[in-house]
Amino acid sequence: MLDARLVLQSPASWRLFENYIFSTSRMMSTQAADRNGFITTLLPAAKRDEMTMHAILALSGAQLNYQNEAAVEIQQSAARHYRLTLRGLRDAVGNVSACTTGAEWLRLSLVLTVLCLIEVLSGQPDGSIFLHLRALRHFVLKIPPPTSSAQGDLQSQSQRIFVLEAYAYYIIASNIVPYGLMSERYVPYDSFMTDLGYIKEAESSGTFFCCGYSLFELIAPTASLAAQIVEHQEQNSDHLKTKVLAGYSCLVDRVLLAQYPFGGHVDAVNNTAQRRAGELYRTALLIWLKIAIWELHPEGESLLAQTQEHVDLSLGLLESVLVSSYGTIALWALVVIGSCLTRQADIDRLRKILSRATKWRLTVVQTVLRLLDSLHADSKGEIAGPRGLMRVMQDQGINLCMA
């Protein structure tokens, strides 16, 4: 058992600890405290394990730093905890013999999950998040399933669900361009992420997929279809055209048929915000699908007109979602929608919406805005979409995870 006082020696460390409990944990999840994995799962683990404690203090510091609200001593303390987390992780991984138990793989997975969160908050465009995700995948695949309902196993199961849900969320939300066409973003899409039922059935789930599993499950297939459309346009294959049109129809039907609460738990406290967040994701999926297919579809011009209607709806939804706790999961939808804007009035409206959402004034959001500015300048009023976004990201060496 860790004596937390050994890690929380300085006033700055205590400040980071308090900020984690009262601010970071609440910002990172939409859930009430009794369902928020950052409180119910990660915090107890940190109180028992020094490396995990260093990790959550570094995460707290990252939130403050990337909101530009950290004093110098807080920045220095957060940097120290981050270095100690990396050192502990390197030492643990280097000692292969110590990594033979499922409990140890789970512990390392939990720490690496937090490091991924820090990378997401940083908004660094160098793609280092994907190095962490590939390493996390290696650990995740070694985590054994729970074997009993003993208290220790319940704690392990809660940690396992937290890690699996976080990992699946990162991988799914990284799909902002046609799948597999940017090799530096590539992480294998394992079968356990195609159906998130094993997560949503767990009592401790919902920290990340809080507005609907059934919609998140459709993001990767949409990105894959977009890649197939690019392949068809390069090969001009009639067989592939038939295949992608059928795939498009199937995905649109699934998006439209999804019903609240979209396979998740009903948020009795923030019911309206949860519904709107789900509708935001539904609308973003429809926008991507129609923008990707319109040149091949026999009713392409009609699809373009529908897309503008979806954009009008989505900006209103985005404005509503960003003033709620569900703003924490809005970035993927924001990027997809933002990449499809053509009217200057819509672009200006998006900027105005974000300028009002002071809670989400993070480095990663500012990086996304600069990326979208470059995209809009490059596309000169033409519809770019995620495919155009990919081109700009490649040209500028920008590689973000929009989680």
pLDDT tens digits for range 176-190:
999 999 999 999 888
Name the nearest CA neighbour of 219 among 313, 93, 336, 104: 336
The answer to whether position 38 is within a domain reads: no
The answer to whether position 62 is within a domain reads: no
Name the nearest CA neighbour of 291 among 276, 303, 309: 303
The answer to whether position 17 is within a domain reads: no
Say which residues have a Cβ less than 8 Å from residue 314's Cβ, sequence separation at least 6. 280, 283, 284, 287, 333, 337
Q: How far apart are CA 208 and CA 172, in angstroms?
A: 11
Q: What is the pLDDT of residue 361?
A: 78
**Sheet strands (E) in 20-158:** none
The answer to whether position 263 is within a domain reads: yes
Q: What is the pLDDT of residue 240?
A: 87
Q: How far apart are CA 120 and CA 118, in angstroms?
A: 5
Low-confidence ranges of the chain (pLDDT < 50): 1, 148-151
The answer to whether position 304 is within a domain reads: yes
Q: How far apart are CA 47 and CA 65, in angstroms?
A: 23
Q: What share of the chain is helix, strand, coil (3-state, %, to 5)?
A: 75, 0, 25
What are the Cα distances from residue 179, in Å, to 174, 176, 216, 320? Answer: 9, 8, 15, 30
Q: What is the largest CA-CA distance in the chain?
A: 67
Q: What is the pLDDT of residue 98?
A: 58
pTM summary value: 0.93
The answer to whether position 223 is within a domain reads: yes
Q: How far apart are CA 303 and CA 297, in angstroms?
A: 8
Q: What is the pLDDT of residue 198?
A: 81
The answer to whether position 8 is within a domain reads: no
Q: How many domains does the chain have?
A: 1
Q: What is the pLDDT of residue 360?
A: 83
Name the nearest CA neighbour of 324 among 262, 272, 261: 272
The whole domain housing 383 covers 101-396
Q: What is the pLDDT of residue 148?
A: 46
The answer to whether position 69 is within a domain reads: no
